[in-house]
Amino acid sequence: MWWLVDDTDHQLAREALHMERERTAFLAKASSTLLASLNLGRCMDVTAQMAAESLADAALTVAPARGGRLPVVTCLRGGAPAVSTLTVDPDDVPGLGEALRGFPPVPSRWIDPATAPAWMVPEGFGPVGSIVVTPLPGHGVPAGALIMLRKAEAAAFSDEEEVFTRLFAARAGAAMSAARLYAEQTAITDVLMRELLPPVLHQISGVDFAGRYRPSADHERIGGDFYDVHPAAVEGEASLVSLGDVCGKGLEAAVLTGKIRNTLHALLPLADDHQRMLRLLNSALLSSHHTRFATMVLASAVRRGSTVDLRLTSGGHPSPLIIRADGTVEQADTHGTLIGALPNISATTVEASLAPGESCVLFTDGITEAKGGPMGNVLFGEERLKRALSGCAGMPAEGIVEHVQMLAAQWLGNRPHDDMAVVVIATPRTHHLSAVNGHTRGRYTA
Amino acid sequence: MTTHPHPLRLTTVGIQDSVRIEVQGDVDYDSADLLLEEVTAQLAARPALTDVHLSCAGLGTVDSMGLSALLMVGRRTTVAGVRLHLDDRPAYLDRLLELTGTLDYLTAPVPSGAAEPSVTEERAARPTGPDRPT
């Protein structure tokens, strides 16, 4: 007796299951590879390469055009992805213009392979058999398009394959879109950083200036400390130094810092009246939406004979310290209100003069509130700073800045810290008439 | 701060026209909003309020964002015509408020009426009464 068993359905089911498993594995691999990178170029490479390996004979990832130029990554099966920027019209390829605008894909059978422009077909590919153009959907805006090519002798894309391609494209688009957003954010941060970097200081009109800024090692890269030195417009008038600390961190702090520096610059003609300057700055910053504020010190310094005359005003900021020639450290007796949060502010200005070899130290609380020491939880503190400074009598401005930053860094060890900024104004010990180094405008004798 | 974080805890007790908020832990970059939200919610929920007491005995560190939040609390209570009291202030909080010139503003005895003076008004009269220890 013979039994005839029909196992066609069983075979089909097994094949379908096998294929489904392979596709799931492919998508899982695509997700993990794509999400491992926040680099847009790398995401485009991976997308083209994976598509060329598993779905087609060649694949192109196309990003949205920028200024009429189309960034394209081309990859042949078994080859390495190649990057190019082409000045072509995406509408020359049926379905590509639509895909880049985020419209649903055109079915493959509607695209005549013979219409493929030369830039689309990789070198040595031969005649094109079929083309699929799939949009890469992004977060709100299209992230680009994926073009896949098969050779003339290969089977055309089935409907099922086109649907699967869209699943892959969804993952690739999300990754490219995230990478693009990240790149834009990094670019914004870089622009702001460049704008906010403190200036390099040097000698101006017979007064030594030195400054150093150590940003917080926090992952939000822009901190809230700033300093500036504005040379006098007219020889013989005072240069203005501003040093301050903006509350908060990140972009909002950076924006406020930028505002303060610009406003102070515009107010320079009023620099002989610190209180008025601070009042105007305060009203410029005041907002009904928030109470973000800055604390700062203004210092006007001008050389008179062998000494430097100072006017110092604190707006809610730790008072500057003055190092005398004999090592005594005095705290400048200036107090005031923080800037930018209260409708009315007040501040007192003190005058001081620095003999040759004496200096004035402006600092932010990142120094005094550095937490560390032998036990790891002690504040560096103002007393310790004063003791350290008393050993700096007679040192050049650059040396004092270096010393203070080094001590704070030692105190901290590897612990996290806030921004730390120090500016030193010093009277140089100049005894001869030839003290001209290219930065100075005049000559001084002691 | 980073080494020994004390998460902020707020305990609110309301008695008739005054409310006491016990502030325990750090008021800093991460938590300052919580304090402001709590005070704002109390001001909204109790229209008859005359006094807000922030009990600061258990206060941890206050960073610049924490101070910014306190200033906003001060602004909101002033606008609402409610007296703000910072009770049991630790010495370091007093030092911070003195350094930043905000002690008078935050411990002024009487709210100066309705809204704050306008931005353009320079050096308008401040509440001139003596500081009452709170």
A272-311 burial string, b = 16+ CB within 10 Å, else e? Answer: eebbebbbbbbbbbbeeebbbbbbbbbbbbbbeebbbbbb
Please give the pLDDT value at position A446. Answer: 42
- B127 lies in some domain: no
Long-range (24+ apart) CB contacts under 8 A made by A71-77 are: A71/A44, A72/A119, A73/A41, A73/A44, A73/A45, A73/A47, A73/A48, A74/A48, A74/A122, A75/A45, A75/A48, A75/A49, A75/A51, A76/A52, A76/A122, A76/A124, A76/A125, A77/A52, A77/A53
Q: Are A186 and A223 found together in one domain?
A: no
pLDDT value at B112 more than 60: no
CATH number of the structural domain spanning residue B28: 3.30.750.24
CA A89/CA A198 separation, integer angstroms: 45
CA B115/CA B122 separation, integer angstroms: 16
- B71 lies in some domain: yes
Instruction: List the single residue in B with minimal CA-CA distance to A248.
Output: B65
Count: domains in chain B: 1
Please give the pLDDT value at position A431. Answer: 54
CATH number of the structural domain spanning residue A418: 3.60.40.10
B interface toward A at CB cutoff 8 Å? 1-4, 29, 63-65, 67-69, 71-72, 75, 98-102, 105, 116-124, 126
Would you say the pTM of this structure is higher than 0.95? no
- For the stretch A334-361, pLDDT in tens is 999 999 999 999 999 999 999 999 999 9
CB A352 within 8 A of CB A319: no
3-state secondary structure A423-437: EEEECCCCCCCCCCC
Please give the pLDDT value at position A248. Answer: 81
Q: Which of A197-206, A398-407, A424-433, B68-77 shows the lowest mean pLDDT across its residues?
A: A424-433
Q: Which of A283, A316, A415 sits opposite B119 (nearest CB)?
A: A283
- A175 lies in some domain: yes
Give the residue, A297 or A255, on which the prediction is more confident.
A297
Q: Are A249 and A362 found together in one domain?
A: yes
Confidence band, pLDDT 50/70/90 cuts, at residue A183: confident
Q: Which chain A residues are Cβ-neighbours of B117 within 8 angstroms?
A: 343-344
Q: Which of A252-261, A339-348, B107-116 shows the lowest mean pLDDT across its residues?
A: B107-116
CB A443 within 8 A of CB A436: yes
Please give the pLDDT value at position B114. Answer: 44
- B126 lies in some domain: no
Nearest CA among A284, A348, A279 for reference residue A311? A348
Structure ipTM: 0.76
Q: Distance (Å) from the C-alpha of residue B93 to the closest C-alpha of chain A?
A: 14
- A170 lies in some domain: yes
Burial class of residue A68 (count of CB atoms within 10 Å of its CB; 0-12, 13-18, 19+): exposed
Nearest CA among A445, A370, A350, A359 for reference residue A415? A370
pLDDT value at A377 more than 50: yes
Range of the domain at A287: 197-426
Q: Distance (Å) from the C-alpha of residue B65 to the closest C-alpha of chain A?
A: 6
Residue % of chain A over a pLDDT of 90: 49
CA A101/CA A143 separation, integer angstroms: 9
Please give the pLDDT value at position A142. Answer: 85
> Could you tell me whether strands A70-76 and A58-62 are parallel, antiparallel, or unpaired per DSSP bridges?
antiparallel
Range of the domain at B52: 9-107
Confidence band, pLDDT 50/70/90 cuts, at residue A438: very low
Strand (E) or helix (H) holding A48: helix A40-54
Confidence band, pLDDT 50/70/90 cuts, at residue B4: low
Which residues, 6+ apart, have CB-to-CB distance to A36 below 8 Å?
Answer: none
- B59 lies in some domain: yes
Burial class of residue B126 (count of CB atoms within 10 Å of its CB; 0-12, 13-18, 19+): middle
A244 touches chain B (CB under 8 A): no
Confidence band, pLDDT 50/70/90 cuts, at residue B36: very high
Confidence band, pLDDT 50/70/90 cuts, at residue B109: low
- B119 lies in some domain: no
- A314 lies in some domain: yes
Show the tokens assigned to A218. Answer: 């926090």
Q: Are A187 and A217 found together in one domain?
A: no
Please give the pLDDT value at position A434. Answer: 44
Please give the pLDDT value at position B124. Answer: 40
Confidence band, pLDDT 50/70/90 cuts, at residue A218: low
CB contact under 8 Å between A344 and B101, yes or no, is no
Nearest CA among A388, A328, A314, A386 for reference residue A357? A328
- B122 lies in some domain: no
Please give the pLDDT value at position A217. Answer: 66
Q: Distance (Å) from the C-alpha of residue B116 to the closest C-alpha of chain A?
A: 7
CA A203/CA A205 separation, integer angstroms: 7
Average pLDDT over residues B3-14: 81
Residue with tokens 């120090």: A422
The count of residues in chain A is 446
Count: domains in chain A: 2
Q: Are A381 and A297 found together in one domain?
A: yes
Q: Are A267 and A329 found together in one domain?
A: yes
Show the tokens assigned to A203. Answer: 């000698």
Instruction: List the single residue in A with minimal CA-CA distance to B4.
Output: A377
CB A345 within 8 A of CB A282: yes
Q: In Å, how far are A181, A189, A230, A259, A387 from A193, measured between CA atoms? A: 18, 6, 20, 14, 34
Q: Are A31 and A175 found together in one domain?
A: yes
CATH number of the structural domain spanning residue A152: 3.30.450.40
- A11 lies in some domain: no
Please give the pLDDT value at position B132. Answer: 47
Q: Which of A33-42, A90-99, A194-203, A267-276 shows the lowest mean pLDDT across its residues?
A: A194-203
DSSP state of A364: -
Average pLDDT over residues A146-165: 89
Q: Are A177 and A79 found together in one domain?
A: yes
Please give the pLDDT value at position A90. Answer: 86
- A5 lies in some domain: no
Confidence band, pLDDT 50/70/90 cuts, at residue A416: confident
Q: Are A144 and A271 found together in one domain?
A: no
Q: Are A134 and A269 found together in one domain?
A: no
Mutate which: B28, B71, B92, B116, vs A, most A CBs within 10 A: B71
Q: Are A178 and A203 found together in one domain?
A: no
pLDDT value at A322 more than 70: yes
Instruction: Please state, rounded to an integer, the average pLDDT across all residues of chain A.
Output: 87
Residue with tokens 């005094």: A368
Q: Distance (Å) from the C-alpha of residue A306 to the closest C-alpha of chain B?
A: 33
Q: Are A277 and A148 found together in one domain?
A: no
- For the stretch A95-143, pLDDT in tens is 888 888 888 888 888 888 888 888 988 888 888 999 999 999 988 788 9
Please give the pLDDT value at position A326. Answer: 94
Partners of residue A277 on adjacent β-strands: none
Partners of residue B55 on adjacent β-strands: B22, B87
- B29 lies in some domain: yes
- A8 lies in some domain: no
Give the residue, A254 or A295, on which the prediction is more confident.
A295
CA A144/CA A44 separation, integer angstroms: 9
CB A73 within 8 A of CB A46: no
Q: Are A221 and A361 found together in one domain?
A: yes
Nearest CA among B2, B24, B6, B7 for reference residue B90? B24
- A10 lies in some domain: no
Residue % of chain A over a pLDDT of 70: 93
- A434 lies in some domain: no
